[in-house]
Structure 1
Amino acid sequence: MAETGSEFERRPDPDALLALADREKRGKLRVFLGAAPGVGKTYAMLARARALKTDGVDVVIGLVETHGRRETEALTEGLEILPRRKIEYRGRTLEEFDVDAALARHPALIVVDELAHTNAPDSRHPKRWQDVEELLDSGVDVWTALNIQHLESLADVVSRIAGVAVRETVPDRVLQDAADVVLVDVTPDELLQRLKEGKVYVPDMARRAVQNFFTPRNLTALRELALRRTAERVDDQMVDYLRQNAIEGPWATSERLLVCVGSDRLSEFVVRAGARLATGLNAPWIALHLERAGEEEQDAERARRIDEALRLAERLGATVERVSGHDLAGEALRFARRENITQIVVGRSRAGLLARLWRKSLTDEIVRRSDDIAVQVITESRAKAEEEPRPRKALSANGELWRGVGATLASVACATLIAWPLDVWLHLPNLGMIFLASVVFCALAAGVWSAVAASILSFFAFDFFFVDPRYEFTISQAHEFLSLLVYTFVAIVTGTLAGRVREQSRAMRARAEAAQSLFEFSRKLSSAASLDEVMWAAAMHAQKALDAKSAVLLAPDDGELTIAAAWPPIDQLDAKEAGAARWAYERAEPAGLRSGTLPNIRFAFRPLATTRGVVAVIGLEPKNAQETPSAQNERMLTAILEQTAIAVDRALLVRESVRAAALEENEKLRSTLLASLSHDLRTPLASITGAVTSLRQLGDRLADTDRLDLLVSIEEEAARLSRFVVNLLDMSRIESGALAPRRELVDVGDAVRSAMERSRKEFPQLKVSASLAPDLPAIRGDAGLLGQIVFNLLDNAHKYGGGQASVYARRDGDELLLTVTDEGPGVKPADLERIFEKFYRGGRIDGRKAGTGLGLSICRGLVEAMGGSIVAQSPAIRRKGTRIALRFPIPEPPRRDAVA
């Protein structure tokens, strides 16, 4: 048992095996990593590619930048090179890697240089590494080259080392997901020597590079970063190997990191620092944005910085969360404990003295209250070198500021004007209450800072106008000075509380409106009976809630995405928009505006994903494509997507259930038909076969009466079989729509008498009486079909009517009423409609079900084909029996003037 338990404990890690299986489905990525340009990454990559080509591997060069180096260009000879895609941009012709040509060629291995390159506008992907991801998803192996400074998490570190801002970056996960990382390394002295010899840049560029970037100090630091990152990647590969093969060894740490993201520029560096720390610890991490309740409505610049920081965190492999509350430090720590966080990374910016006195620092609060969680503090000095001068906001554009200033000045002026006559005429001692009311007004009208400014301004106004000596900013009595201080303190506290109440009420109102909007949307979705109604409800609500044009695209059974609903109405999407929608549908990821796929189009497409996969795509075209959506709109969009996805899934399930029910009903009808055919064909055939056999075998030995009985039996069973076949043919004609009755004037009396005569021959046991009005009008129809209808009704009366039947016909207003009544046991009220269904047999004859269940169904089809109606009534007479009533419209007689 111990041995078995040991084997169980050393089993391979299921997650590692699943990750390995997922990687096997994709192409393999090999990254040639270097510390700086010129170390020989492209040369080494091409040399190995040529060796594989010699071994018979299908190798293609998708794109290689030789930078005029003759040795590198020589290595491309003999290798297939794909033509580049040409793009016209601002009067220039740009040449880019053609990912569509590479997908169409689909080689075993493709070489794509410059992984961090930014593609030209209007490309499908803004970055070349995204083109490489698409190639890998299609199963093509890719070799590429990358400098260490282009890794997203190291961009700020490299900027501080080299003093050069890194603009083109690659997410760290690209390197982490690579199958192999090949370090191409040379010493700084050797690289500088190559630079002087012109093997890296042309002479002019080389001199500038030596002065700015290629210094021994910079190259040594970059080389260390490249070696460290490669060593971490090798360590990850070793851990994966140990897990996949159940080998005991050092495992990855169980650390979990939380990175707090704010709205200042320091947040970007906090995110990068958190990503580096998580990578070094092999730990998952969460990027958390904390927003104070009542402050969700931020200016566009703050919202943009928050959105950029969170997007950066997503690119670096973080899970993004948002939390709202009043006690931000408490909310952060509660979230950290709930998510089992072991380390928190926060930033600390330099706040002014007034700001530190007015509000405690979030960083200091987290450090003070985090007893069991380590806290890493990123200071502002680390990011100061990269801090760009912030553009000053134009005061005229800041409506909120002007509104606050206006409210402060107006309220204090009004309070002074009101208090002046009261002091002159009434000599009131507590005029400060009037100024306190102005402070509360400012708090409610313009917020906290307006209330604080009004408090200070009220202090000076009260001192100047109402405290002796008047009209001077001096106070003669100590108690008056104390009273003013107390008044100012109370005014500030009161104004602050009133301002917070205002902010909270605004936030609650916004949330209530959002909740009400979602409630109405959910009600519309719950009442939507079809998929089309769900699509239109989603499109119209998205347009109303997000103030953006919306379109919902659905893939029918043929798999081609089409616009199911759009508001305002949209006829069609252009080719790029359709491609982005298809990308979102097939890849289950956002595409279009502000995404990594076709970001320059007007629509942003989001997939509607359920447990069965992506069921639809919703596209949104905002009024201002440059404006970053607010957090409130992002939450609203997420809620709309989730509810719409559930509703679409439900509608699809309902449609599938209807189809399943129809298939089940068809299967039931097929089984019933087969059973009916089996019985109703076999019985007369068996009787006919038995009678014929007896006549053939016995011949003249049979008495004449017996022979006559056998011949009568053959005749009856043959007639029965003929009626059954005719009924089947009639039903087939009715259901296929091939039945086209004539529209001639029909004498109803003749048709009824003909059917009765036929029934007397077929059913001599049935006693039929008729009551036909003498003035029966003619109807338009088919005399043969009308006779067939009456005969079928008499046949039904013969089977279930107790041997008695009556036929009655008369004029009833503009209609002709024709009834056939039997005196049988009758029909249950619940079955009055069902008796007209195919194969329904409601009665029994001699202990068995009689008939095929087609007679009344055929009658309904024939009556409706002639423009009439048919109903069943039971009981009919003396609390028993069934009456089948037929009504046909009576045609209007031709007008004399028309005849003339």
Structure 2
Amino acid sequence: MPEIDRDPASRPDPDALLALAEKGGRGKLTVFLGAAPGVGKTYAMLMRAQRLKEEGADIVIGLVETHGRSETAALLEGLEVLPRREVAHGGRTLHEFDLDAALARHPRIIVVDELAHTNFGESRHPKRYQDIEELVDAGIDVWTALNIQHLESLSDIVAQIAGVPVRERIPDTVLNRADEVLLVDLPPAELIDRLKEGKVYLPDSAKRAVDNFFRLGNLTALRELALRRTADRVDDQMVDYLKQNAIEGPWPASERLLVCIGPDPLSEKVVRTASRLASGLNADWIVVSVERADREAADGEAMRQLDETFRLAEQLGAETRRIIGSDFVEEILKLARRENATQIVIGARRHRFPLNLFRASLPDALAKRVSGIGIHLVTGKIEPVARTRRRSKQLLPEGLERALAIAGGTVGLATVLGLLIEQFIILQNISLLYLLAVLASAVYAGYFAALAAALFSVVAYNFFFIEPVNTFTVAEPHEVFALFVFLAAAALAGGLASRIREQAKTARNRATATQALYDFSRKLSGTANADDVLWAAVTQMQSTLRRNAVMLLPEDGDIALRAAWPPDTELTVSDMIAARWAFEKKEAAGNDTGTLPNSPFQFRPLMSPQGVVGVCGFLQEDSPLEINEERALAAILDQTAIAVDRARLSRESLDQAAQLEGEKFRAALLSSLSHDLTTPLATIGSAVISLRQLGEGTPKDAREDLLKSIEEESGRLTRFVTNLLDMNRIEAGTINARRDRVDVAEVVHDAVERARKYFPGRVFETSIALGLPAMRGDGVLLGQVLFNLLDNANRFGGDEPVSIYARREGDEVVLSVTDLGKGIAPADLEHVFDKFFRKGKPDGRSLGTGLGLTISRSFVEAMGGRIKAESPALRRRGTRISMRFPAAEAELSN
């Protein structure tokens, strides 16, 4: 949709001022731009650096590539050169720009050559232009050099010209943000001579360059690109200066066209003529239409023509604007001055007699008030049939019978009231009743009814109230004058009332449409799922357009119907072909288009900044949308495309988060494997080697210690592998916990004995309540849980004894394992059961895999229990992990 320009005030442009403010505190970027290597960009930088050095400026050389050119290398003498950073790449040692050293030195000016260079090795940024941006953000002025072929927007053109692809590229925004662009130019013939003389490349490389890239035609084309790009940048800077300082243009440094159109067939010819003119002048152009506030009251077909003209202008590369105002000439001239337009292109139609006597045309009015701007008139001939049809529409509006009926009824009612009043009192201003009738007709039926009521009122007032009554004769001359004055006043009042009625109607329609779009946007803002977005869109379209609507999204290399309203709406084979065309070609297809018009549906692509995200279809059946429906549809489609794109990005974000989480788990698992497998294996291997080397000569105590180490480390490996297998069973969902009666005391005793065997230096204390009931569960899983908790307490519980308690609380059996170590930080309590969570520094003990508590929680929940960690446990220290299971007797009673 064209931009609506509602701010006619002449003041500095806010965006330009904001861009200027953002440069405060930043350094300045100066780019030495050339058409090709060898034109002298680095030489020019160093010459300028030497001059500033002589003046006492703080300038250093961050990086300069001399490419073996002796005259360039000579200019480095006397300048401070920062040392380069060494990086390894492809088996070689390369020297890269040291960004950190430059930031630490923080000179006033730094020279960093080759803006488009790609960094190697472990660099902070992948591209050198990003290094330079960081320097500029730090307040350092930077000088750099760039060849025109490295601009992203020109890389394909350069590849076509030179026949070789451009690998090093930078975004155009980098050059656009430069504070100064200096063109370093050299005629192509002179550059080729320098190349042949070996002043650009070594002889072998120079010969290949002349045969391939450095040809006269190539260099001439590149030179033109560099000149044009520099001119465009300078022109942008001039426009920014005008906007920042509220200076009214034009300053005709380069051509800019302002094209004025309206809702008429001639406007299409105006746009096409302006496109050819802009192309010939290589100029930017803006297409504008000035519309009144009550424009919705205009002819719907004319407004459709205006929208089609705007679409044509956008296809031809123009910027489009809509301006709301009443003084067309003033609005056009304000926009022309604000945009620094140098020429105005406008259509000129010939006004027939007698209209040309009373009203000047828009081009004539512009010509009288314009200064310093050229005006191009595009003439055309409107077909008489079309003009006659339009005039008939204006003279015989829709609802003519209703308008005449309302006018006659209100005038008749006023006449009856006037005759009744005269039965009781004679009034001199009885004509005010007819003025009231005119106003009522205007309010209820529009201007035509008001004009008819004014004429009817004159006739009725003359016949019934002006002497001699009951005749159309006027006896007194002043009555004739009063009659005409009344007619003029009634027509004027009726026109004003009718205009207010139309504006109120327009305001109501706009408010309704705005509220509907606001409600729709609020509904979309709270919707993150693509299907919900599509269903909201089709219901909104159906309620707005009163037509069947469908939405299709890409799926498995094709597009598929995802939402429709009414839900039973189906698409035929020809409908799907039209939908695919709209999706692939990014243009409308189906009914009332040039592609597959036999389909009853019209399909339009849903365009987002990322491209086509889907297709919308609505039932057309040769009944085109009205202009207001067209605009409402465009707004709905724009919001739907953004919402669908947002839903896609949200889904991709979740997928990436899941992948990152998986990578995190894999990294933690590999870390655990590297430690918990390598350490025991190394210990076992060392013990075995010692036993083998010493053989029978090994002292008995040493032999026992080595065998004990092998036994302990083998146990660690067994527990580690068991945990991994248990974790695999948990994630695969293959844990089938049994529901047997379990003697808790027996399970606790077995787990403690097993722990004492593995951890002989640890003291374990047990306390089992008398009469402790059995629980329903799996004894094997419960034993594994208790052992995992004891293992955890052994690692993190310090040297104090570990206590195991079992008791009954109501209908539950409670088991707890308590240690008196340093405890767990409150922030970590909710994470201790997460996979691979390992915290703390146990004295001389391994941190473990971080799976033991995770497995314990899964086993407890599989048996229908709950597990909880508390810290501190006793005397403001330690950790208690408690488990609760339903007692077997409680299950039976239930």
* TM value normalised by structure 1: 0.65
Match of 2:167 in 1: none
Structure 2 distance, partners of 1:292, 1:257, is: 19
Q: How does 1:106-255 map to 2 (within 5 A)?
A: 246=224
Structure 1 distance, partners of 2:445, 2:420, is: 28
Match of 1:344 in 2: 345
- Select between 286-295 and 699-708 the one with higher mean Cα deviation: 286-295
Deviations 1:370-425 (A, max 9, x none): 55442526365x634x7697499899x97533332232222222222223323332
Change (3 A) 1:2 1:415: closer
SS of aligned partner of 2:832:
helix
Paired residues of 2:795 and 2:846 also in contact (CA < 8 A): no
Structure 2 distance, partners of 1:555, 1:452, is: 58
SS of aligned partner of 2:677:
helix
Structure 1 distance, partners of 2:768, 2:752, is: 12
577, 580, 598: which one pairs with 2:578? 580
Match of 1:57 in 2: none
Change (3 A) 1:244 1:684: closer
RMSD in angstroms over aligned alpha carbons? 4.5
Letter in 2 for 1:679: H
| 1:249 Cα deviation after fit | 14
SS of aligned partner of 2:802:
strand
743, 754, 757: which one pairs with 1:747? 743
Paired residues of 1:448 and 1:499 also in contact (CA < 8 A): yes
Deviations 1:152-171 (A, max 9, x none): xxxxxxxxxxxxxxxxxxxx
Structure 2 distance, partners of 1:7, 1:862, is: 75
SS of aligned partner of 2:475:
coil
Deviations 1:91-116 (A, max 9, x none): xxxxxxxxxxxxxxxxxxxxxxxxxx
Change (3 A) 1:815 1:590: farther
Deviations 1:723-771 (A, max 9, x none): 1111111111211223333343433333222222222222331322222
Structure 2 distance, partners of 1:645, 1:800, is: 55
Paired residues of 2:34 and 2:148 also in contact (CA < 8 A): no
SS of aligned partner of 1:519:
helix
Change (3 A) 1:784 1:272: closer
Match of 2:566 in 1: 568
Match of 1:383 in 2: 383
Structure 1 distance, partners of 2:261, 2:866, is: 75
Letter in 2 for 1:668: K
| 1:362 Cα deviation after fit | 5.0
2:873 is the counterpart of 1:876: yes
Structure 2 distance, partners of 1:660, 1:533, is: 22
Structure 1 distance, partners of 2:572, 2:337, is: 49
| 1:14 Cα deviation after fit | 9.3
Match of 1:262 in 2: 263
| 1:797 Cα deviation after fit | 1.9
Structure 1 distance, partners of 2:746, 2:358, is: 106
Match of 2:80 in 1: none
Structure 2 distance, partners of 1:699, 1:374, is: 109
Match of 1:854 in 2: 851
Match of 2:526 in 1: 527
Change (3 A) 1:615 1:249: closer
Change (3 A) 1:851 1:266: closer
SS of aligned partner of 2:794:
helix
SS of aligned partner of 1:473:
coil
Structure 1 distance, partners of 2:149, 2:690, is: 80
Q: How does 1:882-897 map to 2 (within 5 A)?
A: 882-889=879-886
Match of 1:292 in 2: 292
783, 790, 801: which one pairs with 1:787? 783
Paired residues of 1:287 and 1:320 also in contact (CA < 8 A): yes
SS of aligned partner of 2:295:
coil
2:831 is the counterpart of 1:830: no
2:592 is the counterpart of 1:594: yes
| 1:706 Cα deviation after fit | 2.6
Structure 1 distance, partners of 2:726, 2:227, is: 81
Structure 1 distance, partners of 2:864, 2:225, is: 83
Paired residues of 2:35 and 2:223 also in contact (CA < 8 A): no
- Select between 736-745 and 310-319 the one with higher mean Cα deviation: 310-319
SS of aligned partner of 2:615:
strand
| 1:306 Cα deviation after fit | 5.2
SS of aligned partner of 2:613:
strand
Change (3 A) 1:281 1:730: closer
Deviations 1:213-232 (A, max 9, x none): xxxxxxxxxxxxxxxxxxxx
Structure 1 distance, partners of 2:291, 2:719, is: 82
Letter in 1 for 2:585: R
| 1:853 Cα deviation after fit | 1.0
Match of 1:48 in 2: none
836, 843, 864: which one pairs with 2:861? 864
Deviations 1:864-886 (A, max 9, x none): 23333322233334433333232
2:727 is the counterpart of 1:731: yes
Paired residues of 2:806 and 2:815 also in contact (CA < 8 A): yes
Change (3 A) 1:790 1:15: closer
| 1:840 Cα deviation after fit | 0.7
Letter in 1 for 2:525: S
SS of aligned partner of 1:296:
helix
Match of 1:799 in 2: 795
| 1:342 Cα deviation after fit | 2.2
| 1:834 Cα deviation after fit | 0.5
Letter in 1 for 2:468: P
| 1:835 Cα deviation after fit | 0.4
Structure 2 distance, partners of 1:874, 1:3, is: 69
637, 642, 645: which one pairs with 2:638? 642
Change (3 A) 1:240 1:762: closer
Letter in 2 for 1:588: K
Structure 2 distance, partners of 1:302, 1:394, is: 12
Letter in 2 for 1:604: Q
Change (3 A) 1:761 1:674: same
Structure 2 distance, partners of 1:443, 1:456, is: 13
Paired residues of 1:268 and 1:309 also in contact (CA < 8 A): yes
Match of 1:706 in 2: 702
Change (3 A) 1:476 1:284: farther
| 1:816 Cα deviation after fit | 3.9
2:711 is the counterpart of 1:715: yes
Structure 1 distance, partners of 2:333, 2:399, is: 33
**For structure 1, which runs of at least 5 residues remain unmatched after alignment?**
25-238
Structure 1 distance, partners of 2:727, 2:149, is: 65
SS of aligned partner of 1:429:
coil
Change (3 A) 1:701 1:741: same
* TM value normalised by structure 2: 0.66
Letter in 2 for 1:517: A
| 1:330 Cα deviation after fit | 4.3
Match of 1:605 in 2: 603
Deviations 1:596-642 (A, max 9, x none): 322231222222223322222222224xx323323322322232233
Structure 2 distance, partners of 1:707, 1:12, is: 76
Deviations 1:118-147 (A, max 9, x none): xxxxxxxxxxxxxxxxxxxxxxxxxxxxxx
| 1:854 Cα deviation after fit | 0.9
Change (3 A) 1:754 1:376: same
Letter in 2 for 1:262: P
Between the two proteins, what is the percent identity of the paired residues? 44
SS of aligned partner of 2:618:
strand
Structure 2 distance, partners of 1:249, 1:866, is: 79
Paired residues of 2:33 and 2:226 also in contact (CA < 8 A): no
SS of aligned partner of 2:643:
helix
Structure 2 distance, partners of 1:244, 1:675, is: 55
SS of aligned partner of 2:624:
coil
Structure 1 distance, partners of 2:701, 2:219, is: 98
Q: Tell me the number of residue pairs that the alignment of Structure 1 and Structure 2 aligns.
A: 675
Structure 2 distance, partners of 1:811, 1:287, is: 85
Structure 1 distance, partners of 2:584, 2:522, is: 30
2:623 is the counterpart of 1:627: yes
| 1:785 Cα deviation after fit | 1.1
SS of aligned partner of 1:885:
strand
Match of 1:841 in 2: 838
Structure 1 distance, partners of 2:594, 2:151, is: 31
Paired residues of 1:270 and 1:347 also in contact (CA < 8 A): no
Match of 1:72 in 2: none
